[in-house]
A and B are shown apart, each in its own frame.
Chain A
Amino acid sequence: MPEFFTSIGGLIAGSFLQDGALWALRNIPGFPPIIQTVHILGIAVVMGSVVILDLRILGLAVPSQKISEMTTRLMPWLWWALASNFVSGSFFLFARPNRYFNNPVFGWKLSFLIPAILLTLFFYLMSRRQHDYWELNSKRLWAARGIALLSLGLWIMVAMAGRWIAYMEYIYFPA
């Protein structure tokens, strides 16, 4: 792991962020599984928004829905789900910062998540600039299909890596 990355863990450790997160996780009854469920429900919204949109663009799902209309309708749901997941995720991140910033799988998760968000944002912004941008001609449609395939893979890997953080910490988490 690059040093700037692991040092973020050191910055959070012992700070008020860690104290606050630990307090919530330890003192609110049932808080860890509840906040984890909120996190998974956020992933469910990711599936029900961008992943379904990707499947639509690839011609696999919801044929009666139009790509441009779906993009306008579903993207706000994705942004809210991501915002919610940043909040629910930070409880665990702040509570045990070294567990995450020393764990390569957390690094992988971010290296899937950041391109996934940027790619989705790019798709959304082009669609906002011109409503039928991605459906205008066959060249655009093929570009959209390429983006959809990449996006689908990235979002699946974000969820996959998220789950593997807990397993890899037994190997990489120092004490």
Chain B
Amino acid sequence: MMELLRAPFWIDIENWPISWEIGGTAWFPFLESIHVIAASFVVGSILMVDLRLIGLAATNYAITTLSKELIPWSWGAFIVATITGVGMFITRAASHVVNPAFQWKMFLLLLAGVNMAYFHFRVYSQIQQWDTTVATPTQLKVIGSLSLLTWSGVMLAGRWIGHII
């Protein structure tokens, strides 16, 4: 694994003309500010669904209605955050892959994704029985709390990258 992370491949990425263009111009802070806005929108929109799953907010709306109306926005913002994130990553790819904060961020993103996939593929098909219930079952509370924790962790690790690089 370490060998892979130290491979010359990552240096090659840094030497792409586009990497130099982004890293050496105002493109970098521009991408970064879009990244912050998109990422906070991802968390802000997911937060509404999570708090509903836990039973803390928006309890007058069905879980399915909230998910259907909000999650597409989360995905849209996530795509913007990914594009801008990749744009910043390629400027210092070799440093990022060995940066513990970056590694944590990727790991926590994966956990958030697994949690979301579990909810979508394992729980969502039986959601009808709790769809409009205010007092949600423990399973949904755990999924909502894990989502809040992992996404906050993604933010923390993401912010920490800049303190290590």
Contacts and interface: CB of A to CB of B under 8 A. Distances in A.
A54 B37 CA distance: 15
A34 B160 CA distance: 8
Interface stretch (A8-16, A38-46, A124-132, A142-150): A38-46
Contacts of B61: 64-65
B44 A46 contact: yes
B69 A64 contact: yes
Contact of A44 (B47, B70, B160): B47
Contacts of A20: none
Interface string B41-81: 10111011000000001101100010001100100000000
Contacts of B162: 33
B43 A41 contact: yes
Interface string A33-65: 110110011011111110110010000011111
Interface in A142-175: 156, 159-160, 162-164, 166-167
Interface in B114-165: 152, 155-156, 159-160, 162-163
Contacts of A32: 163
Overall SS of chain B's interface: helix
B40 interface: yes
Nearest to B62: A64
B33 A164 contact: yes
A57 to B, nearest CB: 15
A34 B39 CA distance: 16
Given A45-B47, A48-B48, A64-B65, A159 B40 contact: yes
Contacts of A159: 33, 36-37, 40
A40 B47 contact: no
B113 interface: no
Contacts of B45: 47-48, 52
Interface of A: 30, 32-34, 36-37, 40-41, 43-49, 51-52, 55, 61-65, 69, 73, 77, 156, 159-160, 162-164, 166-167
14 contacts: A37-B152, A37-B155, A44-B39, A45-B47, A48-B45, A51-B41, A52-B44, A61-B69, A62-B69, A69-B60, A77-B57, A160-B37, A164-B29, A164-B33
Given A41-B43, A45-B44, 17 more contacts: A37-B159, A40-B36, A41-B155, A43-B44, A44-B47, A46-B40, A47-B44, A52-B44, A63-B69, A64-B61, A64-B69, A73-B57, A159-B33, A159-B40, A164-B33, A166-B29, A167-B29
